[in-house]
Structure 1
Amino acid sequence: MRLANLSYRYARRAPWVLHEVDLDLPAGTVAEVTGRNGAGKSTLLRLLAGTARPSRGSVSGRPPVVGYAPEIFPVQQPFTVTAYLAHMAAVRGVTATSMDPWVERLGMATLLDVPLGDLSKGSAHKVGLAQALLVPPGLLILDEPFSGLDEQTRAELPRVIDEVAAAGGIVVVSDHQNGLTGRPGVTHLRVENGMVRAVAPAEVQDMARDRSPGDAPARSIIEVLVDAGDAEAVARKLQADGYEARIRGEAR
């Protein structure tokens, strides 16, 4: 797959988000995309997936089967989890049973009858991952896939990525959670000033050490008062959704 002289902006007179990007992604590539907030990482993923069209330049050699799990899953759709995945299976021309392996591997059995609008952040991510994998993808695009996942699913996802790459697929991941840390053979790409460049492993380590607060999402503290007997259950739910939650003690 190749991006040639690719540029993108949201309107004719708007500034360029990406400018004259040249990038080769051979079969079997696992690429991690990094960059500051607003640098254009998600835009690059949408261009790769084909959900956005370049303003200039071209994308060639895109595999015919693309699995795309966006950062924000559209939970407003009027489906339960089962109905949604069955619908997506029909759209992709496969039977509803194609969801079964992913229900097991991603720990989704208790979610099947839940309306999409009632899902937690982490559970919505699981559904997004499952729909992207209903058909073995030749190109798998994952935007912040580790966000909000429970420990079991966080451990399973790198294995899924390895399987796609081993079958000759291309995997491109944007990730603030460092879910691929230590995985050998990852191609590191940095989006910066509208350009995309390959980053050597040593530079990746340097950037991790020198990362400034602007590289990570801004954080806020929200205080929630609950009955003491419910505190542990509420904290566990927040942690399962990817938040840092601590019990501070009894409020008077």
Structure 2
Amino acid sequence: MWQASGVRFDQVWFRYARRAGWTLRAVDAVAEPGHTVMVLGHNGAGKSTLLQLAAGVLRPQRGVIHDRPAVIGWVPERFPADQPFTTRQYLHRMAEVRGLRDPAAADAWIERLLLTEFTGTRLADLSKGTAQKVGLAQALLIPPGLLVLDEPWEGLDSVARTLIPQIVDEVTTAGGTVLVSDHRGEITSLPGAAHWTVSESTVHASAAEGGPDQDGPDEAEVIVEVAVRRREADQAVVRLRAAGHRVLGVRDQDVHGGSGAP
């Protein structure tokens, strides 16, 4: 099961060298359980630094980060692929490191993230997009209470890009927290996403908008089933998400030509 947890920055300061300027100053921000937070800001503003602090990769020089859960999934912008493993070897080793004796968890993510044909490929020989999917898989081997994604769409194909919002939705629906930087804007279709804007070395937080609790009768969601040709399915999903709709799933029709719905 996914774990319910959030994370809270309490007057957090960080810099990369003792005499360097502060990358982040006096950060006060709260990511609530069950919510997605989009981390915004221009290049060099400190978005990646903030995400690494949240994930525990970096430690603040001042201040405290409270309520960080025991299990954190961390996906950096560029997965470190210069390692002497194949995809399967790496994910199975990571499963062992995290105390999973059964490799089924790793194999399930290999299948879901469309990595099956790359299981015997060395990490160093993977494309950037495929390596990113390996990084995403390792972050999800144990359901994280906090999932931290730094530009997770970089290099991914259209099929893989549709999987990330689904995974984010699964984590938050179960009470976990997701922090994500996203210059593509592909996560904006998820309802209830809050914004943390990194600017002038600090974080300006804005409350979630359009969440379920704020919907009036005319804004309540309804489910519309749409049938498209198989070859057009991937692009249809991308267009629907870009228009602000949630895609709850994709399935084949049944053998009688029906939708397969009850």
Common topology (TM > 0.5): yes
How far apart in 2 are the matches of 1:110 and 1:18? 42
1:174 aligns with 2:185: no
User: Which residue identity does 1:137 align to in structure 2?
Assistant: P
SS in 2 for 1:173: strand
User: Among residues 162, 179, 186, which one is paired with 1:155 in the alignment?
Assistant: 162
Which runs of structure 1 show a deviation greater than 3 angstroms over 4 or more consecutive aligned residues? 199-202
Say whether residues 1:67 and 2:73 are aligned partners. yes
Q: CA deviation at 1:200?
A: 6.3
> Which consecutive unaligned segments of at least 5 residues does structure 2 have?
1-6, 210-262
Indicate whether 1:123 and 2:140 are aligned: no
Superposed CA deviations along residues 16-54 of structure 1, whole A, max 9, x for unmatched, are 000000011111110010101000000000000001000
Report the equivalent of 1:22.
28
- DSSP-derived class of the 2:143 partner: coil
2-side partners of 1:104 and 1:41: how far apart? 31
Q: Aligned residue for 2:88? A: 82
Cα distance per residue 1:102-138 (max 9 Å; x no partner) = 1122111111000000000100110000000000000
SS of aligned partner of 2:171: helix
> Contact 1:105/1:153 (CA < 8 Å) preserved in 2?
no
Ranges in structure 1 where 5+ consecutive residues have no aligned partner: 203-252
Alignment correspondent of 1:39: 45
Q: Which residue of 2 aligns with 1:107?
A: 114
**TM (normalized to structure 1)?**
0.78
Number of matched pairs: 202
User: In 1, distance between residues paired with 2:194 and 2:19?
Assistant: 33
Q: How many Å separate the matches in 1 of 2:172 and 2:206?
A: 20
**In percent, how many aligned pairs have the same letter?**
51
Q: Measure, in 2, the Cα distance between the counterparts of 1:160 and 1:38.
A: 28
Q: Deviations over 1:86-112 (max 9, x none)?
A: 110011111321112211221111110
| Corresponding residue for residue 93 of structure 1 | 99
The 5-angstrom pairing of residues 94-243 of structure 1 reads 94=100, 95-199=102-206
TM-score by length of 2: 0.75
Distance 2:146 2:94 in 1: 17
Measured in 2, the distance between the counterparts of 1:157 and 1:200 equals 22
Root-mean-square deviation over aligned CA pairs: 1.2
Deviation track 1:155-195 (CA, whole Å, cap 9, x = no partner) reads 11101000011111110001112121222110111000101
